[in-house]
Structure 1
C-alpha cells in the first residue's frame, strides 16, 4: 500500500470553525511546516485560501477536520478543484499533552496525522450531489416524522382531555384526522371546548401537511436511489427509505473495505456470548442504529411476504434457534448481500 507521504509532496491540514478556517501546509517528506494562514468562511475567503495553497504547494492533498460539518463547504470546493481530501480526526486529549492547543497546532496535527497512513485506508468524505441530496432528505425526513408524531400525540391528549365527540381511546385513524381537519366552530361549545376544537383543527391539519411532506420526500428519495443504484429497489422488501439509508451508509466505493466491515457498521456482526457448554451469539447493539433499523425493516418484510425467508426461519427454529436469533442471522446475511449489491451497482 502507498502511504500519503509517498504519493504527495505536500499535505495541507485544515482546522475548521464557524467563522474562520486555519490552513497549514506541511512538507510530506519531513513533516516540517511551510506556511500557515487563516481565512474567513465566505465564498471569497475560500477562493483566496485555495489560490494561496495552489501557489505554495502545487498538487497538494488536504486533511480536513469536520468534513461533514464546519468543513463541508470547503471540502466541496476542494473536491471540485480536483484536490484529494482526507478526513482528519481531531487529536485526542492525551496527544495534546505537552503541546498545548491552538488553531495552528490543530491544523498542523491534522496534516501530520495522515502522512504515514496508507491512502487506501484513510477515510475520504463522500462526494456527489445525489449522495448529499440523500443525506439532506433523510435528515429532513427524521425531523418531519418527529414533528408529526409530536402533533399526533398532542392531538390525542387534547381529545382525551376535552369531550369533542371523538373516540380517542386508541390511536387516531386517517379518517378521524380528515374529519377533525374539516371541523368548524360550534355555537354550543363551552369556552374550553371552543378553544380545544380550534387547537384540534390546527393539529389535525398540521399532521396532514406533514404527511404530504413525507410523501413528497419519499418520492424524491425514490428518484435518487434509482439513479444511484439501479435495481436496488427491485430487491424484495427494499423501498426508497431503506434503500436511501443503505446508500448513505455505504456512501462511496472504498469507504467500507469489506462485507464484515459493513455488517459491523450496521451492528449486524454477531457477538460471541458462549459460556461453558453453551455456544451461542447475541444481538449486537452497537453501530449505526438507523442502518440496523433499515435492515430489520427489510427482514421483517421478507418474513411476512417471502416464502423462501419463511422457510429458512422455520428450518432454523426447528434446529433450536429462537425467532430473535433468526432475525439476527437474517440481518447479517442481508448486510452482506446489500454490500455486494452496492459494490457492483452503485454509480461512482
Structure 2
C-alpha cells in the first residue's frame, strides 16, 4: 500500500505477523489510523531493517508481536535489546477472521490495533537466561523419555510374535533387564531365518533403549545443575523434584517479574477458578487454560504431599468430611501450592513462611 511518512514527533504503534521465513510489519498512529505495512526477512538483518523502518514513521511506543514463543521469539529478543516495549499478541479469533478476512497485512495491523486498544497486555518471555537453557534441555529430555517408552513398547510387541525359544528365554524380564538380555543375543549371519532376524531387531532396539537411557540420565544431571543455579530454593520444598523445579522456571521465563501477582501465576498454571455465574447462580468452573505442563507439575507436587505429608493428609480428611470430592480437594491444594511457589520463583527476595497445609 502507499506509505505516508509524517514528522518523527508523532507517536506510533507497530504490529508484526510472524512466519518461519518472513515477518510482516505494520504501523498505526495513536488515533488508530493505518500508516504502512511491509514484509521483512526473518534474519538479523531483517530485524534491524524492520525496526529502522518502524522508527522512520515516528516515536515507537510499543510493538505487538504474534508468536513470541515460536516464530517471533528471535524478533522479540531483538526488539527488547533495542529497548522497545514488546507485547505478546494472540492471533485473531475465528469469528473476527470470518468477518474481516485473513492476510498477512491484516494480521499485522490487527496486532498493532490490539496493543493500541489495550486488548493485548502480556509481556513475553525474554528467553535470554537460565530459564531458556533449562527449557531446551527439559524439552529434549522429555522427547527422549517418550522415545524410550515407544522403544520399550516396540520391543515387547516384537516378543509377542517371536519364536517360542526367544519368548521363553526373555519371558518375565522388564525394562532395563530386558534390554540388557536382548543386547546379549548373538544372531547368526543367516538373516533369511526369521528367528535370526528377530534377534537382530531385538539387539537394535536394546541398543536404542540403552542410548536413550544414557541421554536421559545425562540431561537429568545437567538440568539439576541448572536448577540449582537458577532457583536453589525450589528442590528444598517438599514434593518438588528436579522435573518440577525445571518446569516452573520454564513457565515463568527469565523475567518472572512480568507476573504481577500470585493470581496471574495461578492463571498461567491453569489453577485459578474461572467465574461462571449467571443470574441468581453463583459458581466457578475449572480453568482449562494456562500451561498444562506447569499444571501437571503442581499436580505431581500435590500427589506427593498427599501420600507422605501429614498436614496435607489431614486437610484431605477434613475436606472429605465436608463433602468435597478428591478432585475438588486436589484443585484446592494445587492453588495453595501455586501461591507458595510463586513466592519462591517470582519473589525470592521475600519468601513467606510455609503453610501447614502445604507441608
Root-mean-square deviation (CA, aligned residues, Å) is 3.2
1:161 shift after superposition: 1.9
Query: Counterpart in 1 of 2:347?
Result: 344
1:268 aligns with 2:271: yes
Indicate if the aligned counterparts of 1:15 and 1:64 stay in contact, CA closer than 8 A. Answer: yes
Give the SS at the match of 1:61: strand
Query: Counterpart in 2 of 1:52?
Result: 53
Question: 2: CA distance between counterparts of 1:103 and 1:191?
Answer: 59
Query: Counterpart in 2 of 1:145?
Result: 145
Indicate if the aligned counterparts of 2:233 and 2:344 stay in contact, CA closer than 8 A. Answer: no
Query: Counterpart in 1 of 2:249?
Result: 247
1:126 shift after superposition: 0.1
1:160 aligns with 2:148: no
Give the SS at the match of 1:143: helix
Indicate if the aligned counterparts of 2:274 and 2:286 stay in contact, CA closer than 8 A. Answer: yes
1:307 shift after superposition: 3.4
User: Where do residues 102-251 of structure 1 align in structure 2 (5 Å cutoff)?
Assistant: 102-117=103-118, 122-127=121-126, 128-162=128-162, 163=164, 164=166, 165-168=168-171, 172-185=174-187, 191-251=193-253
Q: Aligned in 2, Cα 1:308/1:167: closer, same or farther, shift over 3 Å?
A: farther
- Describe the superposition over 1:189-214 as per-residue Cα deviations: whole angstroms up to 9, x where unpaired: 99222111111111112111111111
User: Where do residues 91-110 of structure 1 align in structure 2 (5 Å cutoff)?
Assistant: 91-96=92-97, 99-110=100-111
Query: Counterpart in 2 of 1:5?
Result: none
Indicate if the aligned counterparts of 1:66 and 1:72 stay in contact, CA closer than 8 A. Answer: yes
Query: Counterpart in 1 of 2:296?
Result: 293
Question: 2: CA distance between counterparts of 1:272 and 1:69?
Answer: 31
Query: Counterpart in 2 of 1:4?
Result: none
- Which runs of no fewer than 5 residues in structure 1 stay unpaired? 1-7, 274-278
Give the TM-score of the pair, scaled to structure 1: 0.82
Query: Counterpart in 1 of 2:79?
Result: 78
Give the SS at the match of 1:337: helix
1:55 shift after superposition: 3.7
Q: Aligned in 2, Cα 1:57/1:183: closer, same or farther, shift over 3 Å?
A: farther
Give the TM-score of the pair, scaled to structure 2: 0.80
1:114 shift after superposition: 0.9
Give the SS at the match of 2:204: helix
Question: 1: CA distance between counterparts of 2:151 and 2:142?
Answer: 14
- Describe the superposition over 1:82-109 as per-residue Cα deviations: whole angstroms up to 9, x where unpaired: 2111012222343356644432222122
Give the SS at the match of 1:10: strand
- Which runs of no fewer than 5 residues in structure 2 stay unpaired? 1-9, 277-281, 350-359
Q: Aligned in 2, Cα 1:100/1:176: closer, same or farther, shift over 3 Å?
A: closer
1:334 shift after superposition: 1.1
1:287 shift after superposition: 4.3
Give the SS at the match of 1:18: coil
